[in-house]
Amino acid sequence: MREINIYTDGGSRGNPGPAAIGIHIETLGKDFAQSIGRKTNNEAEYEALIFAMKKTKHLVGKAETKNVKLNCFLDSELVVKQLNHEYKLKEKHIQEYFLEIWNLMLDFGAVAFNHIPREKNKIADQLLNQALDDDYRQNRLV
Residue 1 located in a structural domain: no
Reference 49, options 96, 9, 94; nearest CA is 9
pLDDT > 80? residue 136: no
Residue 12 located in a structural domain: yes
Residue 91 located in a structural domain: yes
pTM greater than 0.85 (yes/no): yes
pLDDT tens-digit map of 28-46 = 999 999 999 999 999 999 9
Task: Give the residue numbers spanning the domain of 44.
Answer: 6-61+71-137
What is the distance between the alpha carbons of residues 131 and 22, in angstroms, rounded to a whole number?
8
**What's the whole-number average pLDDT of the chain?**
95
Residue 142 located in a structural domain: no
Residue 107 located in a structural domain: yes
**Number of structural domains, the chain?**
1
pLDDT > 50? residue 142: no
Q: What percent of the chain clears pLDDT 70, i.e. is strictly above it? A: 97
Query: For residue 14, what is the domain's CATH number?
Result: 3.30.420.10
Residue 19 located in a structural domain: yes
Check if the beta carbon of residue 101 is closer than 8 Å to that of residue 53.
Answer: yes
What is the distance between the alpha carbons of residues 34 and 69, in angstroms, rounded to a whole number?
25
Residue 25 located in a structural domain: yes
Long-range contacts (CB closer than 8 Å, 24 or more residues apart) made by 80-83: 80/113, 80/114, 80/115, 81/115, 83/113
